[in-house]
Amino acid sequence: MPLQHKTGSRRFVLASAGLLMAVVAIYAAYRLFTPPAPEIDVAYNTVSRDGIYQVMFETEAQPIPLNETHDWVVTITTPDGTPVTDASLSIDGGMPAHGHGLPTEPQMAENLGDGQYRVEGLRFNMGGHWEIRIGISADPGLDEAVFNLDL
Amino acid sequence: MRTARGHAAIGALCGFLALSACDSGALSEDERAKIASLSIDALGPLPPSPGNRYADDPQAADFGRLLFFDEGLSGTGNISCATCHVPDQQFQDARPRGLGADETDRRTMPLAGAAWNIWQFWDGRRDSLWAQALTPLEDQREHAGNRAAYARYVAETYADTYSEIFGALPDISEIPENASPFGSETERAQWSAMELEEQEPVNRVFANIGKAIEAFERTLIPTETRFDRFARAIAAGKEPTGDAAFSDLELEGLRLFIGKANCLECHNGPRFTDDHFHNTGVPPVAGLPEDLGRAVGIAAVQADPFNCLGRYSDAGPDACDALRFMKRDAAAMERAYKTPSLRGVAGRPPYMHAGQIATLEAVIDHYSSAPAAASGQSEIRGVVFTDRGRQALIAFLNTLDATPASDP
């Protein structure tokens, strides 16, 4: 009996070790053969392409809704934090993986002061990776901020 | 050592089997969330119709029901809205293309839930149900009538009802018998000859016909399906029972729908539509005039005097979000058509904007082969289906038919 018991637990340990090795091997193979996820910056606060502006946005509804036309408030400062109060914004974007643009034409609706601007008419009609490009024209210069959204 | 290796091999096999099992196991958190997002329980309240202050007036809805079934609202005297929007067929006509006074170029759409639509018609050339309802009335292949005759008809037939809802009927006794900007040559000439102040009351009465019909159509709401009962149980973290329980095939189809088959990209939300327009490479019908879909609908809705921003609309300009933020890039919308709801889809072949595809099986073939568009760019990326996968997808789509709950 004791001998049998010992053999049984040894088998169990071996089988467990085998299982563990297999899982590790499969995971390693999975990591090896799966391309790494693209590095996408999904922060809602970013620096414009040429570094002229610090740009962030807040949405009227959180999380960003699907199939609902809603507003954003975009805040623009210079890199040292000074509000940019005289900007005009243009909004564009789309789904790079699907090759299509936005389903609407969002517009800058109101300069709220203090470097804040209301943008109206944003709408996302499917889940997935969206890119929003905000063109900024103000005294410091022309620049564009790009946001990646994962809906 | 040999035994150890043997055990490791068995272990590896077990590990492999365990991973495979993930495929058919319990629904993931993500799958549950997607299922709940499609449920009728996720359908919000009836959205307002800002352009129509009578939209939720029950008396207007009763009047609209009368008008909807009234064959007097046609040039030929034998066509009503219900001729193509047949009530016991999901308010559609099961034909490839609608047949009024003559055959049209497009498939008749069902009406349940149409009040949630942002755009009406396959090309979105109208932005409300009331503006939509007016269009077939003057189409020579549909009701084949004209607005002057309709205004007169309402004044003669429904004067009391009309004035109770909309106020006193304007005096239209002096207007021509038949006149319209879209009718026959004579009707168009008669219309052009009218002064603006003569046209105005005719347009007003005509618009109110549409507003009453919209009030009726807003009562046609989507009904609960087996899928909704399944989704309700899933959302509540319960095991679906009775007819809410899905077969293995239906569940497999649902998983394809919300997963690998990419259906959810356009057919999302509780109405299974994203309210947008897509070129899916559906071939044109030989012999029909060129149909560029939304590319033409964009200008048409802007030009419509009965749109949300027009003088017959009851909305302030701020309420007209759809028009204000409309995507105006016609080139990007070539041969793009509105995503139809899939509720009740299995019960209403044929499919696509001109009834090009006869069966759901053939629809799946279309999405699988993803043919290039005749013009514009198709958004479809081909999906490879197994035979079982096709059957599963169709089995799932059948659960979207409106059925009352059966007793378990």
Rounded alpha-carbon distances, angstroms, from residue A24 to A21, A32, B1, B128: 5, 12, 20, 58
For position B295, what pLDDT does the model report? 98
Answer whether B171 touches A (CB < 8 Å). Answer: no
Q: Residue ranges of the domains in chain B? A: 24-43+224-293+334-398, 58-217
Closest partner residue to A18 (CB to CB) among B12, B37, B269 is B12
Measured between beta carbons, the chain A residues lying within 8 angstroms of B334 are none
Q: Within an 8 Å CB–CB cutoff, is residue B4 touching chain A? A: yes
**pLDDT per residue as tens digits for the range A64-90:** 988 899 999 999 999 999 999 999 999
* CATH fold group of domain B24-43+224-293+334-398: Cytochrome Bc1 Complex; Chain D, domain 2 (1.10.760)
Structure tokens at B287: 């012999």
Alpha carbon of B219 to those of B15, B136, B213, B214: distances in Å? 55, 20, 10, 9
**For residue B376, pLDDT beyond 90:** yes
The pLDDT value given to residue B16: 43
Shortest distance between the Cα of A116 and any Cα of chain B, in A, equals 21
Task: Please state the rounded mean pLDDT for residues B259-274.
Answer: 95
Other CB atoms closer than 10 Å to residue A35's CB: what's the count? 5
Average pLDDT of chain B to the nearest whole number: 93
Q: Which residues of B touch A100 (CB under 8 A)?
A: 332, 379
pLDDT at A38: 43
Query: What pLDDT is stored for residue B20 in this prediction?
Result: 37
Q: Which of B2, B7, B19 to mutate to test the interface with A (most CBs of A within 10 A)?
A: B7
CATH topology of domain B58-217: Cytochrome Bc1 Complex; Chain D, domain 2 (1.10.760)
Residue for token pair 């204000």: B324
Q: Is residue A7 predicted with pLDDT exceeding 70?
A: no
DSSP H helical segments within B336-386, as ranges?
Answer: 360-369
Average pLDDT, integer, range A25-34: 62
Is residue A28 predicted with pLDDT exceeding 80?
no
Q: What distance in Å separates residue A23's CA from the closest CA in chain B?
A: 6
State yes or no: pLDDT of A36 exceeds 70: no
Distance between B14 CA and the closest CA of chain A, angstroms: 7
Cβ-proximal residues to B387 (8 Å cutoff; 6+ apart), any chain? none
Q: Rounded mean pLDDT of A25-37?
A: 58
CA distance A31 to B374: 42
Q: Is the pLDDT of residue B398 over 50?
A: yes
CA of B208 vs chain A CAs: smallest distance (Å): 28
Contact A101 B327 (CB under 8 A): yes
Residues of B within 8 A of A103 (CB-CB) are: 274, 276, 327
Give the domain ranges of chain A. Answer: 1-36, 45-150
| Shortest CA distance from A125: residue in chain B | B274
| The listed CATH number (3.30.365.10, 2.60.40.1940, 1.10.3470.10, 3.20.20.140) that belongs to domain A45-150 | 2.60.40.1940
Mean pLDDT score, A120-145: 95
B7, B266, B325: residue with CB nearest A121: B325
The pTM assigned to this predicted structure is: 0.86
